[in-house]
Structure 1
Amino acid sequence: MLDRLKKLEAQSRQLDPGVEARAGLWEAAHGYAEGFLQALPEAPAFVQKDRPGAGLADFPIPEEGRPFPRLLDLLAEHVDGVGAHGASGRHLAFIPPSSLFAGALGDLLAALTNRYAAYFFAGPGAVRMENQVLGWLARELGLPEGSSGNLAAGGSMAHLIGICTAREAASLKAVDYARACVYLSEQAHHCIVKALRVAGMGEAPVREIPTDADYRLRPEALEAAIQADLRAGLRPWLLVPTAGTTNTGAVDPLEACADLAGRYGLWMHTDGAYGASFALTDQGRAALRGLERSDSLVLDPHKGLFAPLGLGALLTRHLEPLRKAHAFQADYLPSPPEDLEELSPSETTLEFSKHARALRLWLPLQLHGVAAFRAALEEKLLLARYAYDRLREMPGVEPGPAPQLSVLAFRFLLRSGDPDAFNQAILQRLTAEGRVFLSGTKLNGTFHLRLAILAARTHRADVDEALERLQKAAADLA
């Protein structure tokens, strides 16, 4: 057995390279990363290929290792060289992601040091860091002192935490689900209904409230739906307004929603995954008035705070239902000191094997300061206004609703022919060119193009180029 252990140790030590081996790996990785960053300004925002990424199948997981430079070549060709370029300033589709250099360094350090961030006893510094970030977010969004939450892997997971918290706050049991009514805009994100299903509440009646001409939830229609459910003997339970819809960036009337939630005893869980971060600016705070009255809310730092993908936040002013939904005690876990004021993330989420993901936001905030983030967010709001004004001046363009935040939906018109097919053809041409990356959507049954201005590297020159390429594609195809 000792001989076998000696042989196995020699083999397993390959997993822990020494100083010289690490130096070669660092050098190669640095060269790859620096080449990627230097190429960013001219790199396409989207690369369209046949069977993208399929070449990885030619390199199955081997029994013996492959050279690191070869693996970087594979990464460049089959992963980083296809599809949407998530670091590009000309990524204007969907809700664009970002990837701050300092955030990537935070991710690297978190993975390298591998600090455990779910339980205070094991990772006190990592837990304090997450709670510091959550406290800062809560204050910026106007929530009261003592509000808490969790840094999840994204908005969908954060919504699941929020819905479970709202369920516990209302003391709902399985027998109640078919009567517990949920209210949201017809423009709401699909992940809300998905989270209800995952939480076991797929039977809960979901009321899609119609919107006004600016695609904002209509409060009078909401109140009528609540009253109809009360007359039917049902239980109005959850209101989910949206602070920045995916389609148009519309902000539901949050003040009116909060008034109705208070009047009828609903839990107000606001979806600010895209838009809530704009509360860091004066203009955004005005557009989001009422957000601070939410019982719980979601925002995605990997959207509006430019962190690498994989960071959503659930914030709530109600700690007890949050803990009731998620906290657990096991014999193998040491009891925390009675005077401990720090809340462990394991008490606020299903996750227990949680890494220090707060570092991907904490490090950029500490390094650059909040003022840089406020400036970047205000820039995106102004760029949306700028783009809208330019679209209004273009002949043959139906500009759509004025931007409430930083998303615009619009379309080009034809004197004759199918405008839906025409705008889809414009989008297909731009996607094939790859220089700028846009997306489309349907509003009132008609196809629209979308500009979503949020990536950290998106500046005026990128917006100008996108508009010029749109205009040229429309002229060519017309």
Structure 2
Amino acid sequence: MRSISSRQRSRILQLEEAARPLEPDAGERDRLMAEVHAYAQGFLDGLPERLAYQHDKSSVARIRELEIGSGTRSIDQLVDRIDESVVGAGLVPSHGGHLGYIPGGGIYASSLADYLAAVTNEYAGVRFAGPGAVEMEDAVLDWMAALVGFPEGSDGNLASGGSVASLIAVVTAREATGLRARDYERAVVYSTAHVHQCLHKALRVAGLGETVRRDVPLDDGFRMCPDSLAALIATDRAQGLRPWLVLASAGTADTGAVDPLSRIADVCEREDLWYHVDGAYGGFFALVEGCQPVLAGMERADSLVLDPHKGLFLPYGTGAVLVRHGEALQDSHTYYASYLQDTVVSEWGGRSPAAVSPELTKHFRGLRVWLPLLLHGEEPFRACLEEKLELARYFRREVEALGFETGPEPDLSVVTYRWVPETGDANAFNRALVEETHRDGRVFLSSTTVDGTFLLRMAALAFRTHLHTIDLALDVLREAVERLEADPARWRAAARGEALTAGLPGGSGD
């Protein structure tokens, strides 16, 4: 008979009762779900009427009015705070008017998957504990590998995004090539100035901050020049350095350019360098037949990053890394701990995700990829991506017709452009112009600077972006130019760093 004092029993039962709100019954779950579902339905139905960007962020401060730990709040009060202070401030990433940066997605089917993943709380880090969750992730990764043309024997991991996926790739490259600390100051990394910053960060986080960096020259389309790459490698070898890693882009964030991946692969094979391709933005355009020639060579990479929360329109927090030789990925990340010894003896084989990434605790993110692909099939994703390519071409043609100077024909769905005023500083005008569009808020556009030239960017990748969205963006730009040209003092003030306020739509001067 178990021995427990009446006092201890009473205390345990008292604590159990106090913790009971964490386990609501069916009726309470229905009540909570009804409130949340009603908000979600209203949000989605009302999304077209919302601003894509809310310049006024004053509501954010009200989050602090509800002090954590000071008591309970009703679900409707909390949902209202989310709507006003989170969704109602800054960018609305799920809006079709999100035409800046590289938009994330948020398709509805993935929200259902996330709900199921959270309710079941399946663990996806170790196959012994969560065999179904791990197998589902593996199935998704196999589909991605087949899509891009990776061979059997490749391996991968679903990560939280392109940054962690890139870190996994860099660490794998370091270990697979036998790079050691004594080599870092001689090891050379080659990329263009437009390679995504997460790769530079990954190098630093992986302890490779002392490596030599080379910016490979660009062609007129902002793509890496393979001949220049080969020349840099030859010069570095002659100087006693160790060429090690080439970072190419299948769609840069700045301009959307796709490097000549096959020709770069030729150089890497000839010189025995690790070849990494950042396909976080552009990789899933491989679903579109017309894009396959542009992306040719991606399948020859040693490591490749894809972001399903971009090209598959999934919620933020969904990245992927693929490595051509799976054993290299496993050898660089596998560790052992005694308390996990039971997990080594499994009733059926296969490696665990914890053996190919920094994560041991791992969210069941594979479900948010698997469920929509099985529910909808590939075709809607393919059509949505092709639509964005056509919208980018349409936008470039029409914005040029408005009088804007445009960048190169887009490789994918990013268009660069700027307005050149008859007199004055064009950079100052375009800084004021992008600010004007932000204050308008109906669409969200972004900017970049290339070789000292301030450019505007239109990135069509949000799954809710359609033809009417692009027509609205063109109207917003036309109207903004007209306002600024009618009042040159406003945009010339921007050249002196002065704030744009009075008389701007949505600004304090209204």
TM range (shorter): over 0.9
Matched, 1:155 2:171: no
Matched, 1:103 2:115: no
Q: Which amino acid aligns with 1:253?
A: P
Whether the 8 Å contact between 2:100 and 2:445 is mirrored in structure 1 is yes
Whether the 8 Å contact between 2:52 and 2:95 is mirrored in structure 1 is yes
Match of 1:324 among 327, 331, 344: 331
- Indicate how the Cα distance of structure 1 residues 5 and 339 shifts in structure 2: closer, same or farther if over 3 A, else same: closer
Query: CA offset at residue 146 of structure 1?
Result: 2.5
* 1:260 paired residue number: 267
Query: CA offset at residue 139 of structure 1?
Result: 0.4
Match of 1:465 among 444, 468, 472: 472
Matched, 1:5 2:12: yes
Query: CA offset at residue 145 of structure 1?
Result: 1.9
Match of 2:239 among 228, 232, 235: 232
Matched, 1:380 2:380: no
Distance 2:415 2:314 in 1: 23
Match of 2:173 among 154, 158, 166: 166
Q: Which amino acid aligns with 1:43?
A: R
Distance 1:122 1:63 in 2: 37
- Indicate how the Cα distance of structure 1 residues 31 and 400 shifts in structure 2: closer, same or farther if over 3 A, else same: same
- Show structure 1 runs of 5+ residues with no match: none
Query: In structure 1, the residue corresponding to 2:293 is in which secondary structure?
Result: helix
Distance 1:177 1:52 in 2: 48
The more displaced of 336-345 and 401-410 is 336-345
Matched, 1:130 2:107: no
Query: CA offset at residue 337 of structure 1?
Result: 4.9
Whether the 8 Å contact between 2:57 and 2:89 is mirrored in structure 1 is no
Whether the 8 Å contact between 1:129 and 1:362 is mirrored in structure 2 is yes
* 1:349 paired residue number: 357
Query: CA offset at residue 52 of structure 1?
Result: 4.9
Distance 2:57 2:180 in 1: 50
Distance 1:78 1:52 in 2: 5
Deviations 1:203-257 (A, max 9, x none): 1111111211110011121111111110111111110101100111001110111
Distance 2:13 2:388 in 1: 59
Matched, 1:21 2:28: yes
Deviations 1:322-348 (A, max 9, x none): 111111122222244588443210111
Identity, in percent, stands at: 48
* 2:373 paired residue number: 365
Distance 1:349 1:19 in 2: 38
Whether the 8 Å contact between 1:131 and 1:343 is mirrored in structure 2 is no
Q: Which amino acid aligns with 1:370?
A: E
The 5 Å alignment of 1:378-417 reads: 378-395=386-403, 397-417=404-424
* 2:121 paired residue number: 114
Query: CA offset at residue 391 of structure 1?
Result: 2.1
Deviations 1:79-106 (A, max 9, x none): 1111110111110001111110001111
- Show structure 2 runs of 5+ residues with no match: 1-7, 486-510
The 5 Å alignment of 1:174-213 reads: 174-213=181-220
* 1:44 paired residue number: 51
Q: Which amino acid aligns with 2:351?
A: L
Distance 1:161 1:193 in 2: 13
Distance 1:330 1:10 in 2: 37
Q: Which amino acid aligns with 1:427?
A: V
Distance 1:283 1:382 in 2: 11
Instruction: State the TM-score, normalized to the length of structure 1.
Output: 0.98
The 5 Å alignment of 1:79-98 reads: 79-98=86-105
* 2:255 paired residue number: 248
* 1:297 paired residue number: 304
Whether the 8 Å contact between 2:59 and 2:84 is mirrored in structure 1 is no
- Indicate how the Cα distance of structure 1 residues 50 and 356 shifts in structure 2: closer, same or farther if over 3 A, else same: closer
Deviations 1:413-455 (A, max 9, x none): 1111111111111111110111000001112211111100000
Whether the 8 Å contact between 2:145 and 2:322 is mirrored in structure 1 is yes
The 5 Å alignment of 1:422-433 reads: 422-433=429-440
State the aligned residue count. Answer: 477
Query: In structure 2, the residue corresponding to 1:332 is in which secondary structure?
Result: helix
Instruction: State the TM-score, normalized to the length of structure 2.
Output: 0.92
Q: Which amino acid aligns with 1:353?
A: T
- Indicate how the Cα distance of structure 1 residues 218 and 76 shifts in structure 2: closer, same or farther if over 3 A, else same: same
Distance 2:387 2:27 in 1: 45
Whether the 8 Å contact between 2:163 and 2:202 is mirrored in structure 1 is yes
Greater CA radius of gyration, 1 or 2?
2
Whether the 8 Å contact between 2:129 and 2:343 is mirrored in structure 1 is no
Distance 1:130 1:335 in 2: 18
